[in-house]
Structure 1
Amino acid sequence: MQAQLDAYCNYLRTERQSSPSTVGAYGRDLGKLITLCEPAGVLQWQQLTTAQLRRLVARLHQHGQAPRSLARLLSSVRSLYRWLNREGLCDHNPAIGLSAPKAERKLPKVLDTDRAQQLLDGAVEEDFLGRRNHAVLELFYSSGLRLSELSGLDVDALDLNAGLVQVLGKGSKQRVVPVGRKAQEAIRQWLPYRSTARPTDAALFVSQQGRRLGPRAIQVMLQKAGASELGQHLHPHMLRHSFASHLLESSQDLRAVQEMLGHADITTTQIYTHLDFQHLASVYDKAHPRARRGTKEKEG
């Protein structure tokens, strides 16, 4: 098995011209599989069956192997067997139809409403950077935009009188999103400062040199705001997540939140229902008399 694996890795290097890191990853994954096969009596790639491979993957999962790593392993196995089949060294592919265990979906980190207000209601410097950065924060939280969407906004995408912004989202899909009253006011106060930079294009948010503010510059600005106002790490998606969580908590309208976020599939938006349930469970634990009594009993 090792000799054929070595030949496969050589094929990746010479014919496929794969990077050293890719070849190394394939070699490690498949080498690990060989060490599991030998105790099971599998001494040739031809002998490995789908049922055996499924059991080996399950064993790795039980021993703490992450689902993402198992998915990569199965991908390596499928690729190896395609090569073995082409070389006439094997006549089946045991990884076909197998999938790794699903990874537990991590809940996004959000600011609670008090922390969001703390971030946005602080004193604003009456200068170019102060007004621009405040407008960026307000619009992120008001409209739940992605980083790329906010960076790509042009002035004419805004209708401040109607309280709307037209956004170009993923897949070049356009959507119209509400802009809250405080965000409207922050943008109105920013626009005169924007003009002083003599912008090179129609970008809504620009640098002091008049160039469109790029995603990296916005990320750095948010990190500084999080450190100074909240004493914590802050990134653009945290404001987007906070927008969605707080809106869903108040409205219970999952479809509306889906539309505003620009999610093609509502299952993507449903992650925020779990955040809402977490909030409800926390309120219950703190407020319900039976929950409080149970806590005291445990403490006793």
Structure 2
Amino acid sequence: MHIEQLLEIFCTYSKFIKGLSDNTIKRYSENINNFISLSEVNHFDDINEQKVLAFFFKGRVERKWKSTTYRTYYMTLIVFFDWAVANGHLETNYVKGIELPKIPKSLPKNLSKQQTNLILETTLNFPCSHRFIRYRNHAILSTFVFAGIRKDELFKLTLDDVDIENRTLFINGKGEKQRIIPISYRLAEILKRYLKERQKLKKTCPAFFTSFRLNKAYTDAGLRRVVKSIRECSGVYFRPHVLRHTFATLMLEGGCDVYSLSKMMGHNDIKTTTLYLSASAEHLRSVLMKHPLEKNSF
């Protein structure tokens, strides 16, 4: 059977049996198709150790892959080849044993309090054709800032997932892992104001954030347009994920402990959360001021 046909079967298996997200399936398909095209293979019989090594070597040297890109292809192909071996399409997983480059440790990018407030104020005062649009856009960016959720998690939010009365968000996270995030008083008021405008337009779509003209869930394309407009107007460059990083940093600066923050962020490993300790100069400064000799005079 042609390898592209087997790729389709693999993606179907990964989605419906393993329950992987659409984004993961899309990444699998794109990366494996790139391997098929660049390595000029039509069947699994065409694959050998030399072709796999050449693919990674060319990617690193000729295509100037970053370490993260290299690792993404590595993890995708190792899963695909494992599946192929298990189903008798391939004798050996030729990716196993290939060396992985080290990923340079970089601190998460975040915004200052002033920059974050400027973004929210700009969004709330941005000229829009309808009040619903202004309040929806402000609610979306505020949810990133005050709850620290991922973009995909925001699009998955339904009306049932948002409990304003008890001030909680029910999140369907990465890998179908669920968690509950408390809502601050300020965010609760912002979401409540958006819901009033939504009710006036008689939206019945189950998605929490909806389109203005259509009774459908808000889209990634729509969010990109909003972010672009607010960036240009405020003069502050940001992406939704930067707002998530900003939430984490500001929470630490406000005194939140790492364990609680890790739960709110949905991190599998608390080590991921501790990166934000290094990113927050204010947090480190406040900790340093607790040195027992700090208050001694000389």
Pairwise same-fold verdict (TM > 0.5) = yes
For 2:102, give the aligned amino acid. K
> Which residue does 1:220 correspond to in 2?
225
> Which residue does 1:99 correspond to in 2?
99
* 8 Å CA contact retained: 1:138, 1:182: no
* 8 Å CA contact retained: 1:201, 1:212: yes
- Cα deviation for residue 70 of structure 1 reads 6.6
1:195 lines up with 2:196 in the alignment:
no
Instruction: State the alpha-carbon separation in 1 of the partners of residues 94 and 210 from structure 2.
Output: 55
Q: Structure 1: give runs of 5+ residues left out of the alignment.
A: 1-10, 35-56, 80-91, 285-300
* 8 Å CA contact retained: 1:227, 1:234: no
* 8 Å CA contact retained: 2:253, 2:282: no
Q: Please, which of 245, 259, 265 is the counterpart of residue 241 of structure 1?
A: 245
- Cα deviation for residue 158 of structure 1 reads 2.0
Matches within 5 A, 1:60-139: 66-67=66-67, 97-122=97-122, 123-124=124-125, 127-139=131-143
Matches within 5 A, 1:1-300: 21-22=34-35, 25-26=38-39, 66-67=66-67, 97-122=97-122, 123-124=124-125, 127-208=131-212, 209-229=214-234, 231-251=235-255, 253-277=257-281, 280=284
Number of positions where the alignment pairs a residue of Structure 1 with one of Structure 2:
233
Instruction: State the alpha-carbon separation in 2 of the partners of residues 206 and 117 from structure 1.
Output: 24
Distance 1:198 1:226, change over 3 A: same
Larger radius of gyration: 1
Moved more, 235-244 or 146-155: 146-155
For 1:112, give the aligned amino acid. S
- Cα deviation for residue 275 of structure 1 reads 0.8
- Cα deviation for residue 179 of structure 1 reads 1.4
Distance 1:93 1:169, change over 3 A: closer
Q: Deviations over 1:246-267 (max 9, x none)?
A: 1123225111111001112212
Q: Structure 2: give runs of 5+ residues left out of the alignment.
A: 8-28, 41-48, 82-91, 289-298
Distance 1:70 1:160, change over 3 A: closer
For 1:22, give the aligned amino acid. F
Q: Deviations over 1:257-287 (max 9, x none)?
A: 1100111221222221221259748xx9xxx
Distance 1:139 1:68, change over 3 A: closer
Percent identical across equivalent pairs?
A: 27
Q: Deviations over 1:133-186 (max 9, x none)?
A: 111111111101111111121223222232211111122222111212221111
Distance 1:95 1:184, change over 3 A: closer
Q: Deviations over 1:193-223 (max 9, x none)?
A: 1123332422221111221112332232222
> Normalising by structure 2, what TM-score?
0.63
* 8 Å CA contact retained: 1:108, 1:241: yes
SS in 1 for 2:180: strand
Instruction: State the alpha-carbon separation in 1 of the partners of residues 209 and 65 from structure 2.
Output: 44
Q: Deviations over 1:100-123 (max 9, x none)?
A: 231113333211111011112345
Compute the RMSD of aligned alpha carbons. 4.1
Distance 1:23 1:30, change over 3 A: farther
